[in-house]
Each structure stands twice: as C-alpha cells, then as structure tokens.
Amino acid sequence: MKKIIVCIPIFLLLSLTLFPMVVVSEQNGEDDYVIEDRRWDVKLFGLFPNPAQFLFGSVDFISVSFEEDDDQPDDLRVTMNLRDLSKLLPEFDSGYTVSWWMNNIHYCLVVHRLPSNQISQFVIGHSDEYTDDIVQWTDCDGVFDIEQNCIKWTVSKEVIGNPSPFSHLTSIYATTFVRKIYDSRSGADLFKDLALNAKSFTDYVVKY
Ligand SMILES: [Ca+2]
Ligand SMILES: [Ca+2]
C-alpha cells in the first residue's frame, strides 16, 4: 500500500516536468515562432531597466517566424513582429536584425528605419566558415508594414547556402537597437531589445 502512495506523486512530478519539453518539440508548424520574446523589455545598452517602455514600441520585438510557400519554394520569408511600429523615434536610427547558422556559416538579415522615417535597403549578409563576422552583404526584398506591426524579409535560398529540405537553421537570434546617428560602424547602441531573455527558441527545419 505504501508503494502505491509513493508512486502516484512521482508519476505526477515526472508528467509536470516532461510536459513543457513536449510543447517545445512540437514547434515549427505552419504558424509557429522560432523566437517568442517578451514585451516591454527594451533596455538601456541592452542591459539596464528602462522605465520609458511606452516610447519604444517600434523596437520591442515580440516574435520571429520563418516561412516557405510551396508556390515559391526557392525563397525563405522571415517575419519579425513588433509591439507598435507606429511609435516613431524621429531623432534616431532604429535597426532590426535576425540571424542564424547553417553549415558553420553565420547569416544575418538587417534593415534600418532612419531618423527621417525612411526605410533602408533590406539586406542579407553571410560570414566565412567558422567566423561570426559578416564578409558580404546582398540586397533582398522586404516589407516594413507599420499597420500590421511587422517587418518581412524575403531571401532567395541561393544567398543562404542553398539549404536542402530538412536542413536545420540553428542558433536563431534577433536584436533591435536604437542609435543616435545612422552609422553601422559606430556601434553606439543606446537601447536594445535582445533575444537573450526570450520565452522560447527553436531551430527552423527547411521544407522545400
Ligand atoms: Ca521584446
Ligand atoms: Ca528581449
């Protein structure tokens, strides 16, 4: 009798521990996110609490998803959803990046919203093998959709290493940043939303 009483709580404990793992492993369906971030978490220098979150809705990203269409199998579409893209930061350059690794090469998508509210060219960069540093940038298509609070990059698979079906895009990461002047070399990021504190991350498995 004592054995039965002890076994039931242990089973319940194991079930509660395993359940979240099952949820994570079922991601990557049609509308699943590869990153689900937190809201109201744009930090000073990416580190320190920032009480003025209401000003930073346009750089507070909440999720990132990767998608492919069967009628355009040669493209990968990456979407970053934000809290409120209508919150313009007129004196600043706002930057948006999504990156991943495949076959030991680092890929990175970037777009900027300039102080004049102009949107920069959407670009995709790649590194050499086994290094972080981007060595070449290529223009790509994109949409900066203020009404839908999302940014979409559309990338030809030719410029991301021609991934075959079932290839894994790993270590997916996203960042937004706010700089005083549009200068990608300055590195003077005042405010940042990093994926470090995201609720969930998952790889993306290529479909086509
Ligand atoms: Ca966020
Ligand atoms: Ca974050």
DSSP secondary structure letters along 92-108: SEEEEEEEEEETTEEEE
Closest ligand, as measured to the CA of 46: 2
Report residue 32's pLDDT band, with 50, 70 and 90 as the boundaries.
Answer: confident
Cα 96 to Cα 21, 78, 163, 187, distances in angstroms: 30, 12, 24, 14
Confidence of residue 185 (pLDDT cuts 50, 70, 90): low
What confidence score (pLDDT) does residue 115 get? 84
**pLDDT score recorded for residue 187:** 57
Tell me, in angstroms, the distance from the centre of ligand 2 to residue 30's CA: 23
Query: Ligand 1 centroid vs 42 CA: distance in angstroms?
Result: 6
Calculate how far, in angstroms, residue 60's C-alpha sits from the geometric centre of ligand 2.
Answer: 7
When computed from its CA atoms, the radius of gyration of the chain, rounded to whole angstroms, is 20
Is the pLDDT higher at 98 or at 189? 98
Residues with CB under 5 A from ligand 2 (ion): 37, 41, 193, 197
Q: What pTM was estimated for this model as a whole?
A: 0.83
Tokens 């937190």 locate to 38
- 82 C-alpha to ligand 1 centroid (Å): 8
Q: Which of 9-13, 26-30, 105-109 has the lowest mean pLDDT?
A: 9-13
99-112 confidence digits (pLDDT tens):
999 999 999 999 99
pLDDT category of residue 183 using cuts at 50, 70 and 90: low
pLDDT tens string 140-168: 999 999 999 999 999 999 999 999 999 99
User: How big is the chain, counted in residues?
Assistant: 208
Domains of the chain, by residue range, sit at 30-205
| Token digits of residue 154 | 């559309």
Is the pLDDT at 5 greater than 80? The verdict is no
Compute, in degrees rounded to 10, the torsion defined by CA atoms 128, 108, 160, 197.
110
